[in-house]
Amino acid sequence: MTVSPPRADVDCLVVGGGPVGLLTAVLLGQAGLQVAVVERWPQRYPLPRACTIDHEALRILQAAGIMAEHADLFEPSRGERGGYQFRGADGELLRAIDWNRPAESGWANTNGFHQPDLEAVLEQAAASTPGVSVHRGWTFTDTTQDESCTTTRLTATGDPSVASTVRSRWLVGADGANSAVRSHLGIEVGDSGFEADWLVVDYRPLVEDTWDAFVVQYCDPRQPATAVRSGPGRRRFEFMRRADVTPEEMGREATAWALMAPWGVTPQTAELERHAVYTFRGRWAQVWRVGRTFLAGDAAHLMPPFLGQGLCAGLRDARALAWRLSLVHRRLVEAAVLDSYGPERAGHVREIIDGAVEAGQIICELDPARAAARDAEMRREPTDPSAVKEPPHPRLGHPSITVPGQDPAGRLAPQGRVRVGSKTGLFDDVRGGDWQLVARGGTPTLDEEAATWFAGIGGTVTGVSPAGSVADVDGVYQRWFDAHGCDVFLSRPDFYVFGIGCATDVPALLAQLRAALDTPGGGR
């Protein structure tokens, strides 16, 4: 980390040193690009934000090398009734969602964590990745672009008379909800119309707590509230601001204590860490790319935090953008592959924003009669979490780099534990591969030209079986193949399925991939 300005020429300039900008820089740096991150503030953001993270995001962090040393930052969801509960005005259970299950990405479905800890690790990882530099205290002001590069002007945050100019092949605006990059490009923002102020309180329990869940949504119209296990040794309460309380009153420490008291959380039983009032909204950028400039993270989408997905979506953006830029930068594919970044990500995240807004509408109901009707309707649903699963993650938006018309294509690929010789671990750690061609049984044989091309883009070819040379230790792959009626899948660097088939479909799958990536000299 440095306060000096970035070099005048880099491959990619990332505006915003939040988690999404930092992860994007790490991934691009690992692929060999020269990357500078510029962050407006000298210190990391101190207030409470993300506290739960899902399995897919952890697989992305695994790919960036973070999980090998920092898995202890994350505390898997646990507790009764699947971990995630909606409770009605009378405190009775309305809906239970199974957040406690192991999930397809090889990590626990949902995990509590402390965002500043993750940001510290990501900043350290960025600063130590060859080719990446992080420059705090620099503010984006404007950018122009031509056929070959972008030219971006920055000013020193502490002294706006000090300016610096950076030329870069690519520019990523990961500069948060009020993105200056997005405004500068004139990109319009869609709005769900949902808006609610909530007080967010982070604390450390000083006594052993007796929570029986991981997340509880208290849908009480007198005072909607959320309780969350927010990572090892931490808890969080969130309280909706009612119309008879001003934002200023809501932000007082005394208000936080008064609202937590009914749960026995008092200065004698807890140490208050931080509290802040936020306005929760559901918004999205209408366009994610203008020429050589891309948006990622909160700059591209905002959602109320009731499903714990805002940061997860941003980490997906980072991975989806980084693999494309890496391949284009190394001239392994044509730049047209960048066109699909926005549509794929926007379609996916819009479904999640809609789900988060829908959850918000359930939780934020202040009218007692409507709340009673909601409770009665939800009581008709089964509350057994094995019956009410978390909805599957959405498919990638359209058009996507996937085989058209195949259902698992565009959905998450599995990661299971495998054993190779004396080593047992998650597939990405043991076998790896940006593009993974995984077959049931023996390893498929590719013709030499296809094998060379596939290895060149970071592909690996693996046969998994119960007791073969790559053993499917927990049967994850066998079950996945059975469920989808196939023997082979080809997955992408962001862990979405490109396509599936049987053993004889392998040459065709690879040909389809070459065509979809618009490989120079191949596929078409």
Ligand X SMILES: Cc1cc2nc3c(=O)[nH]c(=O)nc-3n(C[C@H](O)[C@H](O)[C@H](O)COP(=O)(O)OP(=O)(O)OC[C@H]3O[C@@H](n4cnc5c(N)ncnc54)[C@H](O)[C@@H]3O)c2cc1C
Q: Note the residues at the interface with ligand X (CB under 6 A).
A: 15-21, 38-41, 45, 48-53, 115, 139-140, 174-176, 180, 200, 278, 297-298, 305, 308-312, 314
Token digits of residue 292: 């050589």
Nearer to ligand X, 308 or 416 (CB): 308
Nearer to ligand X, 49 or 81 (CB): 49
d(CA 82, CA 90): 20
Minimum distance, C-beta of residue 166 to ligand X, in the bound complex (Å)? 12
d(CA 492, CA 334): 17
Give the residue carrying structure tokens 């239970």.
Answer: 96
Cross-strand partners of 464:
440
Nearer to ligand X, 123 or 344 (CB): 123
Which residue intervals of 139-296 are DSSP H helices?
180-184, 247-250, 253-260
414: cis peptide before it, omega within 30°?
A: no
Minimum distance, C-beta of residue 163 to ligand X, in the bound complex (Å)? 13
Contact 356, 363 (CB under 8 A): no
Nearer to ligand X, 41 or 266 (CB): 41
CA angle (182, 187, 191) in 5-degree steps: 100
Nearer to ligand X, 49 or 324 (CB): 49
Token digits of residue 522: 């191949």
Query: Using CA of residue 500, residue 506, residue 511, residue 513, what is the dihedral sign?
Result: positive
CA angle (146, 147, 148) in 5-degree steps: 95
Minimum distance, C-beta of residue 182 to ligand X, in the bound complex (Å)? 10
How do strand 83-87 and strand 93-98 relate by DSSP bridges? antiparallel
Nearer to ligand X, 280 or 489 (CB): 280
Residue type, 276: A
How far from the centroid of its chain's Cα atoms is residue 60's Cα?
A: 8
Minimum distance, C-beta of residue 34 to ligand X, in the bound complex (Å)? 19
Minimum distance, C-beta of residue 477 to ligand X, in the bound complex (Å)? 28
Number of residues that make up the chain: 524
Residue type, 188: E
Contact 103, 54 (CB under 8 A): yes
Nearer to ligand X, 257 or 278 (CB): 278
Count CA atoms closer than 13 A to 379's CA, side-chain side: 11
Nearer to ligand X, 24 or 519 (CB): 24
Minimum distance, C-beta of residue 57 to ligand X, in the bound complex (Å)? 7
Minimum distance, C-beta of residue 230 to ligand X, in the bound complex (Å)? 8
Nearer to ligand X, 83 or 463 (CB): 83
CB atoms within 10 A of CB 357: 20
Minimum distance, C-beta of residue 512 to ligand X, in the bound complex (Å)? 33
Minimum distance, C-beta of residue 280 to ligand X, in the bound complex (Å)? 7
Contact 83, 77 (CB under 8 A): yes
The DSSP result for 357-415, as a single string, is HHHHHHHT---HHHHHHHHHHHHTS---TTTSPPPPPPPPPSS-SS-TT-TTTTSBPP-
Nearer to ligand X, 58 or 174 (CB): 174
Minimum distance, C-beta of residue 180 to ligand X, in the bound complex (Å)? 4
Helix (H) or strand (E) holding 238: strand 235-240
Nearer to ligand X, 338 or 349 (CB): 349
How do strand 301-302 and strand 293-295 relate by DSSP bridges? unpaired
Minimum distance, C-beta of residue 326 to ligand X, in the bound complex (Å)? 20
